[in-house]
Structure 1
């Protein structure tokens, strides 16, 4: 199996400056994905009032994008590797611009949900391609890491400033502006990609028949896996509904594996996933997704419900994580050059596990330990998000890079949902009474401390198992 890269621009760029047009377009793609994940949340109360939406409908306004995005990435990754990564990305950007423009004409919550679904489809068409095209743009692994770091930093800045910027916009403009901002971002991305990246060569694509059954099974499984955690939180761990979705997701995963092993032209060749670089990178990404989602949820509840911090103060309490995520990009290149790609991947994943462990054991003792946990997890995630993704693509043939990028994003999305589900289930099983009550009894406070410790240490054990597996696989690379 060859993992030799194929360049996308004739005479591969020898520096980031030579590829600045392409990188500007690819950065814009990642920016809209991160911005869409955060900027709309601050407007949900306003949307609810203006469109007379129920709590469930508002939940789907926020969640429809993530579910569709996560569910379709594998399918569109396979399509892009067959029909052209640049072509699929440009089509997705046109869809994004059109869906964003449609926001101006939204008059009901159902229409807004439809717009969010279309945006999720656009994100699934574009986001994996941004990683794949970045990787293929350069021949040198060092330049690949630097370019991926640059693009991810732009996206993380969007994620960090999204809620604050959204709040300022709502003070002077209608909520629709928050989604209309995607139009100029999409236009910038289209210009950068059309001018900076040439179309894929036929030799860099493959023409295997599309595994439609596998695509349906994979998409259905991922959607069920992403919806189940939300149902656990909303319906409660005692309801049969979330567990029915969870069981269906497990059955779907089994059916998908059976299908992919049996068919001549699988959507996802499991032999490629078994490659040491690929399986180790996916394990590290999965551990980071599990830890980040679970820790973020636990800390938010602790600051606002246990310690009774105001939302503004709680947002300031999360600043250590934001600072590391945004500013930490400057440290990735020297760190990777010093220790190498493989060691950088597993040491950063270990940092994520250590952060979770610190929170589980010491988090209740004071904010200092919470801040230490946030910094360790953010630092680990910042490095592993870049390095593990690059390693996955290094381990794949040149005509499977987009589905490889889609696979890393899907692993993160699914394990993030699993982290929330585990946390919500533990809290629901230990804490009695409404958790949002303004006044807890001493017994409820003790229950909350037990629940957060149990949830954090459970996630620590699972993340540690994933990291250990990744290290074992990486040593075989």
Structure 2
């Protein structure tokens, strides 16, 4: 293996000692306070991603009424952003590693502000879908770069973890308050204001990154030409993977889990399976292309590096378990137990509290057990939470509460340390695409988790899941579906944790 592909040296028993990262500025900050302008800007980037995801859902009924949008159109309003965002991350991150991470992020922030401003003149669902797709492009240009630039701000792993913790905490605050803020805004203002909020956030991020982050050192950039064919194949693979669950939901009618509106998964429909086939074929061609290209978009030897592959496995395990748990718990609280939306929100509140307050745990945990051990322990906690819900959740809210706390605590830690480990394992010229790999692993795992849970639920539950007055037999069917679906996801996520642990031992 060439020296360019050699992972950064690290201690297996704890955080690595401070070291110089190739291509990083020589006058790196010695504390978070010295880098507060940059951290504020990077935090604003992550705030946009989390706030946007949570705040728009509140406005969907209003958007549907005012724009006369169909159910499918409303689903495209949200999925167009996610599909474009997930599909373009690898390509745009590879470009950022070549032309400059800071430059691509600043361009993306300008694009985000312009797209958000365009919301003010939207009059049709198609126009809003187009705006959301452009915002997805902007998110793909900015979100992976926030982790890459945060990592490169410092030479000390402890400061890197602390900076990433601050940035992720700001984002989680946005995720937590988004629905409440959205509801309050809709009470006094039109729905367009919810997306116009992105404009000042983008401006704050632009100023912070422009002033606080140094221009990329040319020696820290990747010089190989962009692999266009690999970029197209990779984009098609990810987009088809993210699109398939949506198509499965839209394909059915009359019974099953579906989207919670009475639609089910109809296995005989051709569209979802066409998306699956496209993902498989394009994925196989992408791997072949990257293994044979002289200058691949993603050198697969990078993914095989121990710290990189272990971090991605832990992140995917967490995404798989979290998505399945969130999907199944929401249905159980409101449909099986008959809780109102407000009661269900209160029932999920402990998870929000742990996510927001759990940041104080990350530093002590990493200091005590090390980054590698913290990664597998936190990923295991997430999987354990899903296992608790799948096997015991039907017996009362106390078990649901335990599952929520385990998942939230594990997710809070693994979200920081797994990404940090991936970045530590990469050469300095590939940090942005490494961050994109982390986000892509999480996005794809989330889509797979929802698809697996929804498919099993639709296959085992007879009748419309959203219809009131379930029979005793339907209640048993739902409980069995939760147990089987949660069990399958637990096994899959647990296998990923084992893979991550084996790879981490080789680091």
Q: For 2:185, which of 169, 179, 194 is the aligned residue?
A: 169
What is the CA deviation profile of residues 225-258 of structure 1, one whole-angstrom value per residue up to 9, with x for unaligned ones?
0010111222114223212211211111111101
- Kept after mapping to 2: 8 A contact 1:324/1:378: yes
- Kept after mapping to 1: 8 A contact 2:72/2:250: no
**Equivalent residue number for residue 469 of structure 1:** 499
What pairs with 1:399-414 in structure 2 (closer than 5 Å)?
Answer: 399-414=429-444
Query: Is residue 68 of structure 2 the alignment partner of residue 44 of structure 1?
Result: no
In structure 2, how many angstroms separate the alpha carbons of the residues matched to 1:372 and 1:252? 40
Q: CA deviation at 1:2?
A: 5.2
**Equivalent residue number for residue 418 of structure 1:** 448
**Equivalent residue number for residue 291 of structure 2:** 261
**Equivalent residue number for residue 200 of structure 1:** 216
Q: CA deviation at 1:9?
A: 4.7
- Kept after mapping to 2: 8 A contact 1:7/1:136: no
- Kept after mapping to 2: 8 A contact 1:237/1:429: no
**Runs of at least 4 residues off by over 6 Å:** none
Q: Structure 1: which 5+ residue stretches go unaligned?
A: none
What pairs with 1:13-24 in structure 2 (closer than 5 Å)?
Answer: 13-24=29-40
**Equivalent residue number for residue 154 of structure 1:** 170
Query: Is residue 461 of structure 2 the alignment partner of residue 431 of structure 1?
Result: yes
- Kept after mapping to 2: 8 A contact 1:128/1:403: yes
Q: For 1:90, which of 83, 106, 113 is the aligned residue?
A: 106
- Kept after mapping to 1: 8 A contact 2:237/2:278: yes
In structure 2, how many angstroms separate the alpha carbons of the residues matched to 1:219 and 1:374? 33
SS in 1 for 2:450: helix
Q: CA deviation at 1:327?
A: 0.7
What pairs with 1:117-196 in structure 2 (closer than 5 Å)?
Answer: 117-196=133-212
- Kept after mapping to 1: 8 A contact 2:308/2:422: yes
What is the CA deviation profile of residues 272-294 of structure 1, one whole-angstrom value per residue up to 9, with x for unaligned ones?
11000000000000000001111
What is the CA deviation profile of residues 323-360 of structure 1, one whole-angstrom value per residue up to 9, with x for unaligned ones?
11111011100110011001000100110111111011
- Kept after mapping to 1: 8 A contact 2:53/2:175: yes
**Equivalent residue number for residue 398 of structure 1:** 428
- Kept after mapping to 1: 8 A contact 2:23/2:428: no
**Equivalent residue number for residue 443 of structure 1:** 473
In structure 1, how many angstroms separate the alpha carbons of the residues matched to 2:51 and 2:21? 30
Q: Structure 2: which 5+ residue stretches go unaligned?
A: 1-5, 9-19, 252-264
In structure 1, how many angstroms separate the alpha carbons of the residues matched to 2:38 and 2:86? 25
SS in 1 for 2:297: coil
- Kept after mapping to 2: 8 A contact 1:6/1:136: no
> How high is the TM-score relative to the length of structure 1?
0.99
SS in 1 for 2:296: coil
**Equivalent residue number for residue 295 of structure 1:** 325
- Kept after mapping to 1: 8 A contact 2:105/2:142: yes
What pairs with 1:11-90 in structure 2 (closer than 5 Å)?
Answer: 11-90=27-106
What is the CA deviation profile of residues 417-473 of structure 1, one whole-angstrom value per residue up to 9, with x for unaligned ones?
000000010011000111100111111111000001100000000000000000000
- Kept after mapping to 1: 8 A contact 2:7/2:424: no
Q: For 2:389, which of 359, 378, 386 is the aligned residue?
A: 359
- Kept after mapping to 2: 8 A contact 1:31/1:158: yes
**Equivalent residue number for residue 314 of structure 1:** 344
Give the total of aligned pairs: 477
> How high is the TM-score relative to the length of structure 2?
0.93
**Equivalent residue number for residue 247 of structure 2:** 231
- Kept after mapping to 1: 8 A contact 2:25/2:217: no
Q: CA deviation at 1:170?
A: 0.1
Alpha-carbon distance change, 83 to 179 in structure 1, aligned in 2, over 3 angstroms: same
- Kept after mapping to 2: 8 A contact 1:221/1:249: yes
